Chain A
Amino acid sequence: DGGITQSPKYLFRKEGQNVTLSCEQNLNHDAMYWYRQDPGQGLRLIYYSQIVNDFQKGDIAEGYSVSREKKESFPLTVTSAQKNPTAFYLCASRTPAGSGEQFFGPGTRLTVL
């Protein structure tokens, strides 16, 4: 373990509130990703970033926002526009293209009360 961290581990939110999930990596990876995991649905891509100050929408970006001001950090904000935010959120970074392996953080479990 180590190399890519997420905080907090558990997060509770009231309806109508925005929350920000933290993701930090010290692997010197350029690419970072956010996934949402729901039972029986695998890992669905929310946003990904290839370099600092650049990011692209994934398959389920609605209701989420990201920033990439530093290479090491890729925070995800879950906005009040996300209608069903309760899920397990995983951040990942990826080795250069020649290898391709993704390294995942330990995840944040978000529950909307």
Chain B
Amino acid sequence: GENVEQHPSTLSVQEGDSAVIKCTYSDSASNYFPWYKQELGKRPQLIIDIRSNVGEKKDQRIAVTLNKTAKHFSLHITETQPEDSAVYFCAASKTGGYQKVTFGTGTKLQVIP
């Protein structure tokens, strides 16, 4: 089955700096890669996703890149703000039917004011 590894497990950055979280996946058939943000005590919420036919996707300060050959994808947050502090999860799955979604172990991001 699919295996998703996520690094780092914790990340501290100064406000205004950039943060990068990296994930690798094992199943070359996976073609959908979402990122979720979970604030303390709350539910995970989708912040951005990318499909395998695209190499990069941006949404304001957030971007995701995908390297299908190397089977890794990354989340980039620019101009970090204190409200970006949360746990971020990457995930991988196939589309076409209701497939399993495999999550990484999460990255706790702390933005220091």
Contacts and interface: CB of A to CB of B under 8 A. Distances in A.
Nearest to B44: A104
Interface in B30-81: 32, 34, 36, 42-46, 49
B98 A102 contact: no
Given A48-B100, A97-B95, A97-B97, A43 B44 contact: yes
Given A104-B43, A106-B42, A97 B98 contact: yes
Nearest to A31: B98
Interface string A30-57: 1101010000111111001010000000
A90 B44 CA distance: 9
Interface in A48-106: 48, 50, 58-59, 90, 94, 97-98, 100-102, 104-106
Nearest to A32: B98
Contacts of A45: 100-102
A94 B95 CA distance: 11
A105 B43 CA distance: 6
B44 A42 contact: no
Contact of A100 (B9, B36, B43, B95): B95
A58 B100 contact: yes
Q: Which 9 A-B pairs have the closest CB atoms?
A: A31-B98, A42-B105, A104-B43, A43-B103, A50-B98, A42-B103, A100-B32, A97-B95, A42-B106
Interface of B: 1, 6, 9, 32, 34, 36, 42-46, 49, 89, 93, 95-106
Interface of A: 1, 30-31, 33, 35, 40-45, 48, 50, 58-59, 90, 94, 97-98, 100-102, 104-107
Given A42-B6, A97-B99, A102-B46, 5 more contacts: A44-B103, A48-B100, A94-B98, A97-B97, A101-B46
